[in-house]
Structures are given as C-alpha cells and as structure tokens.
C-alpha cells in the first residue's frame, strides 16, 4: 500500500484489507491528504466507477472515527433518493466496522431511522436538498444542535446541480446552514464528486460562490477503460398510401430496432436509453410482446419517473442481483450513479441530449475491467420528393456522430450556464429564510442570499423589484419595525408539502385546432405567435397562446413534409453544432486515433451519412449558410440553440414566418437574397436586447415560482436563459464580411 494509506484510521485500513484491494486507486490516494487536513474544498472528477465515493469517505470517516456523539460529522447530499439508498448499502459495512451511525433521510426513508437520528444525531447523514430544506424551515433549532459539530459536506453527481434551479437552492441551503450553526467565518469543507464536468477551472466558484475556502482539484490522469462504439442506422420505409389486403408491409424502423435489441440484449444485462417516456413504454411493450411470441421469459422492463417507486426499485434490485438477465428501457432515471451491477452494454435510441449525458450513460458499462460498450441506434425516414431539408441532411444522425466524436476524441463536456439569475429560486429562498427565522430584514436577506450566497448575478435593484412584487402578492408583509414576515399567501405556499422542492416538470399546454384538442405539449422551449410547429407529424401555425388556460391555438399550415427530427426540448451547445459542420465540411465522420482513423458506423449508417453529405455539398452549405428550397428559405448558422432562438425572434420581428428544427431555421414563402439583405440591415441599427426579445414570447413562466415574478424580472430572466444576442450579431457580421469578400 502507498504512503497515503497509512494516514487512514486503522479500522478503515482493516476495511480496505477486507475488500481484497492490493492498492488504492490514483484519485483515492491523492484525495486523502486534503480531505484529512479539512482546510479546503475538494473537487474529485473522474469517470464512473473510478472510486470517487471511497476517495471521499475513506479519509472523511477516518477524520470523524473517534469523534464523540452529539451531532452529525458528515453530510452527504444526493440529487436522487435511489442514489441515497444505494450509498447506504455501499457504506453500511464500513460504518459497522467503525461503529458509526449511518442515516438515510428522504421522503421514503423509514421513520424509525429518522426518529433515532433525531434523538441521537451522529455519524453520517445521507440527504436530498429538499429534505434539508424541510429541516431548516420546520426545525431550525434541532438543525443548529444536530449539525453543530459538522466537519464535512459532500455533494454527489455535482454536475446535475450546477447552473440549475435546484443547484442554486442547494448552494443557498449550505450557506444558510453555515450561518445557522455559526460557521460562516469558519466554513465547513465541501467536496464535490462528478464524472462529467466541463470547464473544471470554473467549478470551484460554483461549489462555493463566496470563495471562502481554496479548492483542491483531483482528476484521474488516465483512464483504463476501453470504449467500443457502434452507430447503427435504420431507414424508415416510405408509406405513401395504406397497404391493400395481401400486400407485404415493410418492417418499420422501430420494429427493426426492437428485433435488434432483442437479439443483442437477450441473455445479458443492458441499459437502453430512449429519451422520452412515450418511446420508453413503446419499446418495452414491443420487446415484451416479442418475448411472449417466442415463448421465452420477459427480460425487458421500463424505468422512468412516472412509474411507481416499487416498480422502479424492483427493477433496480433485479439488476443489482445479476442473477437474471435484465434489460432496462429507461429515460434519464438510470443515468446517474446508482449501483446497478455489471452492465454489458449501453444502448442509445435516438440522438442524445448532451455530450455530458452521453458520457454518464456510457459510464454505466465497462466496469470491473470489461470494455464500455455503446450502441447508438438512429432511424431516419426514407427520402421522397417533399422531404424536409432537415431530413435530407440526416441531422439526427449527424448530431449523434458529432457527440460521439466529442466524447471519444477529447475531454469536452457542456459547461454549466452559471450566468443565470434564477429569480424563481431566489423568491423561494426569500420565503424559506423568512419562514426559518420568523422575521428578517431586507438587507439581511440580500446579504445572505446574494452578496455571500449563490445569487450573485442579482443586483440590489433586482432585489427591490422582487420584494416589492412579493409584498403586492401578499407573499411578504413588512412590520412597523422594518422586519419582513410571511404574508397570507406566503404562509399558504410555505405550509404546503410541495414547497421544499424548487423544480417542476414543464407545463403541459393543450394544442387546439378549430376547437378540437390534438394533444398536449410541454412548453419548455420558445414558442411565438405566427411560428410554425410540428405536432403529430403535421405542420401547424400558432395563431394564439392563451397562457391562463394553457392552450396553444393552431391552424394547419401549408408546406413540405415536416422534419422528423426537430430537437424539441434540447438545448444544443455551439460546440456540438460546430462539430456537425466540421464533419460534413471534411466529409469524414471517423475519429482520429494515432496514424489511423476509427470507423464506428455500420453500412446503413454510412449510406445515410453519404446521403446527408451529398445534399450538404449540393447546396454548397460549406460556404453558403442561406439557401433557397422551393418557396422556403433555410438558414444554417451551425450554432447552438440560444443563437438560433435569437435569429428566429429577429426574423419574426422582420415579418418572416420562421421556425427552427435541429438548428436549421426554416422561413416560409421567402426569397434567400431578401432574407440575407434584411439580416444584414440589422447591423445598421441597434439589435434588440435579450429582454426586448423575451417580451415577444407569450409564455415565459417556465420555473416553479415564475408566476409570482414582476414582468420586468420575468423578461430579464427569460431573455438571459433563451437568447444570445451577441452571438447572433457576430454571426450576422460574419455573414456580412463573407458577402463583401
């Protein structure tokens, strides 16, 4: 064993010996000195299954092993209840050897364990942000006593928090906790664990915004995991008319995908990520039917957030036991670090949302020395005369290839967007702090939440607007002493059991045509009046958005075949779209590896890629980003969705009917030369600000407490979230320079 091993507590050394380890891993060895010192924050970034959990807990448990009872020594914070349950199982043996109490605390935890911890808090507490919020609001006195001896805070899957509403809540909770127990001048060291962090140098500021402690960053310098990747293409057959009796019906792409999943996955353990709940259920049902048709036991089960807790936990337990072959068809629910045993491969059906997400998913396989195997299954429609240009360019396949190249060829992941205001969560925290203390002054709130807390983008003027509106809405009331207390509506919100969570699922709007409901659509992306959308495989023009009744009124829109792939709900980064452009410009999808290049497409995927590249060349998209196709004009910025959103809003202001699909902007009944001229004319004046563009969007209530914000803050927050005016200006300016040259 190395020298760092001998710094650990003897009982921890004994536990390591019992595991049969010949040595500690690199990150585990390097983490021991800074964590034992307890005088700095620590960031541990390494691939899934690299031993990050032990890298923290071995030295941290050593530090508190001989501490007396009277309070928790370590608080572990997780984004998932299931991950807490999993870590409880993993740490039980170590804690038993140290005679250390281990308490899981979340909504589904056994009440007996919580009661025991309330009577005698000590050891390790495993908790979610929502449960910690509940404790601070409802029982701050007990928290002050139970957390008074706290030595360490560790946050698992830290990438899942950074830049999100929930992440802002967590950072605010930690700041409030330090103030409550009198540690704001002597901060509690924080450790963050993650496998996928972009821009590592910026992460310490996200871990502790007030920079009250230095941060030691520990990364694995090498990866021993062998990665095997294949992209398999499928062509969905063209069905121009309903088949007649006796006609042979061609196999659909989804049926072919299910046949391949059955063939590849049966007999092993696999994770199939299908992105949406609807596709997850569809694939699981078809695969179950295949098992029944072939008279064999079913091995394919769905796993998503809408299923009951029992159904999800039963499937997780089945995977962990490794005694029965099991394939989980899942959304992102199994993306994070729940221990599900050895997985033979990961399958991605349809394009992934982000490179970061793809890395998390790939990390679920390749454990215990086996190679990590990723199969990506991408279906594209058979082309015909009226096919959309987006489909002709095979944008879903191209996006998938770009993400794989970025994943395999380098260390790039989408960086967290840390420039957001998070006004919704700030409002929530104002209520929470006021409830926690019973009454608080405005300047104390601003100092706690903004100056030294995580809401550092928020100015004093912003804060005044927020408090004024909260007073009007009876969320807060100001006493004659100047203190703020909860108002009538604020009391109602705080007393409801849903208060402790700051996140919510996107609002479902009904899509209505001529009084008939076509279905529902989650509105978490920009939708403008006069914009064209694709719903149910058809084109529709948005004529009105009723934000009160949650209704989008539409009429049928003329035009060519709507694109199959639109990237709805995704927020694709500039780097991904630039990589897509580079792949077609070079005409080569392969990944460079030494003197050779790695080919990872099957024959059908190669054919589909060749089709897309043919149209890219035919339209001269290498040098011409604005092209005419019939009566429509297509604009290809090859940039992320914030820039695309901005260009769509600008074109709409210019009187065009513009819509975006997979990063391409489609303008109906337009002339390419005129579109170019009008875009360049924008450089002559001042481009609208992000706030002004946000004013054009009818539905801006996205986050949980947005409905209580004043319109000015709602527009400013939405504008920063959805638009990139400077990026759009740069692209138009580049277009101008290229036109001149």
Q: What are the distances in angstroms from CA 59 to CA 87, 99, 524, 629?
A: 16, 16, 43, 64
603 within 8 A of 235, measured Cβ to Cβ: no
Q: Which residue has the tokens 């004319």?
A: 681
Buried (b) or exposed (e) across 155-170, using 16+ Cβ within 10 A?
bbbbbbbbbbbbbbbb
Query: Same fold for the domain at 3-219 and the one at 423-493?
Result: no
Ranges in the chain, pLDDT < 70: 1, 48-49, 68-69, 198, 221-225, 239-249, 333, 336-341, 367-369, 505-506, 536-537, 559-562, 566-570, 594-595, 739-741
SS3 track for 191-218: EEEECCCCCHHHHHHHHCCCCCCCEEEE
Question: Domain map of the chain by residue range?
Answer: 3-219, 227-238+251-382, 423-493
Query: What six digits make up the tokens of 170?
Result: 């967590």
Query: What six digits make up the tokens of 624?
Result: 């011409």
Parallel, antiparallel, or unpaired for β 632-635 and 664-667? antiparallel
**Integer Cα distance of 264 and 258 in angstroms:** 10
Q: Which CATH number fits domain 423-493: 1.20.1050.10, 1.10.10.10, 3.30.9.10, 3.40.50.150?
A: 1.10.10.10
Q: Specify the DSSP class assigned to residue 656.
A: -
- Going 105 to 111 to 112 to 118, the CA torsion angle's sign is positive
What's 3-219's CATH class?
alpha beta
SS3 track for 344-366: CEEEEECCCCCHHHHHHHHCCCC
**Integer Cα distance of 682 and 674 in angstroms:** 13
Coil/strand/helix, residue 375: strand
* Crossing angle (nearest 10°) for helices 81-98 and 309-321: 50
| Radius of gyration for the chain, computed over Cα atoms and rounded to the nearest angstrom | 27
**Integer Cα distance of 367 and 356 in angstroms:** 19
pTM: 0.89
Give pLDDT, residue 476.
98
Give pLDDT, residue 242.
61
**Integer Cα distance of 496 and 402 in angstroms:** 45
Question: Which are the contacts of 3, defined by CB distance < 8 A and separation ≥ 6?
Answer: none
Tens-digit pLDDT profile for residues 339-382: 666 788 999 999 988 998 888 888 777 766 678 899 999 999 99
CATH superfamily of 227-238+251-382: P-loop containing nucleotide triphosphate hydrolases (3.40.50.300)
């Amino acid at each position: 064993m190395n020298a760092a091993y001998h710094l650990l507590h003897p009982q921890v050394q004994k536990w390591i010996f019992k595991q049969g380890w010949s040595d500690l891993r690199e990150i585990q060895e390097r983490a021991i000195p800074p964590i034992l010192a307890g005088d700095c924050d620590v960031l541990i970034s390494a691939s899934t299954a690299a031993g990050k959990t032990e890298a923290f807990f071995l030295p941290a448990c050593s530090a508190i092993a001989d501490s007396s009872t009277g309070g928790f020594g370590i608080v572990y914070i997780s984004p998932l209840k299931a991950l807490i349950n999993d870590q409880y199982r993993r740490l039980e043996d170590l804690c038993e050897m140290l005679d250390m109490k281990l308490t899981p605390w979340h909504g589904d935890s056994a009440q007996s364990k919580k009661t025991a911890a309330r009577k005698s808090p000590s050891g390790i507490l495993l908790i979610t942000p929502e449960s910690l919020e509940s404790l601070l609001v409802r029982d701050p006195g007990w928290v002050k006593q139970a957390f008074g001896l706290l030595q360490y805070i560790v946050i698992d899957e830290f990438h899942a928090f950074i830049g999100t509403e929930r992440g802002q809540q967590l950072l605010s909770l930690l700041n409030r906790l330090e103030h409550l127990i009198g540690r704001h001048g002597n901060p509690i060291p924080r450790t963050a664990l993650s496998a996928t962090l972009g821009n590592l140098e910026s992460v310490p500021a996200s871990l502790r915004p007030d920079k009250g402690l230095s941060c030691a960053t520990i990364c694995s310098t090498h990866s021993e995991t062998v990665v095997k990747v294949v992209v398999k293409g499928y062509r969905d057959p063209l069905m121009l008319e309903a088949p007649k009796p006796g006609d042979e019906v061609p196999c659909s792409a989804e049926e072919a995908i299910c046949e391949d999943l059955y063939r590849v996955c049966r007999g092993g353990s696999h994770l199939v990520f299908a992105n949406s709940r609807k596709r997850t259920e569809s694939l699981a049902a078809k695969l179950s039917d295949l098992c029944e048709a072939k008279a064999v036991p079913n091995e394919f089960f769905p796993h998503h957030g809408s299923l009951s807790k029992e159904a999800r936990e039963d499937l997780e337990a089945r995977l962990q036991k490794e005694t029965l072959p099991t394939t989980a068809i899942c959304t992102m629910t199994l993306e994070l670090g729940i221990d599900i045993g050895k997985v033979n491969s990961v399958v991605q059906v349809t394009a992934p949302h982000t490179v970061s997400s793809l890395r998390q998913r790939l990390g679920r396989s390749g454990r215990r020395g086996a190679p990590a195997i990723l199969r990506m299954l991408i279906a594209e429609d058979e082309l015909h005369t009226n096919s959309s240009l987006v489909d002709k360019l095979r944008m879903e396949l191209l996006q998938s290839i770009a993400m794989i190249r970025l994943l395999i060829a380098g260390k790039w992941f989408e960086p967290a967007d840390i420039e957001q205001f998070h006004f919704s969560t700030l409002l929530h925290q104002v209520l929470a702090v006021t409830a926690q203390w019973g009454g608080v002054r405005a300047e104390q709130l601003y100092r706690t939440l903004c100056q030294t807390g995580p809401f550092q983008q928020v100015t004093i003027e912003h804060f005044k607007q927020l408090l004024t509106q909260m007073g009007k809405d009876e969320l807060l009331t100001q006493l004659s002493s100047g203190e703020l207390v909860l108002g009538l509506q604020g009391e109602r919100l705080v007393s409801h059991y849903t208060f402790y969570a700051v996140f919510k699922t996107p609002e479902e709007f009904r899509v209505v045509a001529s009084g008939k409901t076509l279905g529902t659509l989650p509105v978490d992306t920009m939708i403008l009046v006069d914009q064209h959308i694709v719903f149910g495989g058809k084109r529709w023009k948005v004529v009105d958005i009723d934000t009160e009744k949650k209704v989008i009124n539409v009429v049928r829109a003329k035009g060519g075949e709507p694109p199959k792939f639109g990237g709805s709900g995704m927020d694709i980064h500039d780097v991904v779209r630039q990589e897509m452009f580079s792949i077609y410009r070079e005409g080569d999808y392969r990944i460079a590896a030494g003197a050779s290049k790695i080919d990872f497409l099957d024959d059908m995927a190669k054919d589909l890629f060749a089709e897309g590249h043919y149209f890219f060349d035919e339209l001269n998209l290498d040098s011409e980003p604005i092209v005419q196709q019939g009566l429509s004009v297509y604009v290809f910025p090859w940039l992320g969705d914030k820039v695309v959103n901005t260009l769509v809003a600008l074109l709409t202001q210019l009187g065009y009917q513009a819509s975006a699909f997979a990063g391409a902007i489609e303008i109906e009944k337009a002339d390419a030369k005129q579109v170019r001229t009008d875009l360049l004319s924008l450089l002559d004046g001042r481009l609208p600000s992000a706030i002004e563009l946000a004013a054009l969007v009818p539905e801006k209530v996205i986050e949980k407490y947005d409905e209580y914000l004043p319109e000015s803050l709602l527009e400013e927050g939405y504008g920063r979230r959805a638009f990139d005016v400077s990026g759009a200006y740069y692209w138009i300016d580049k277009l101008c320079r290229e036109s001149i040259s």
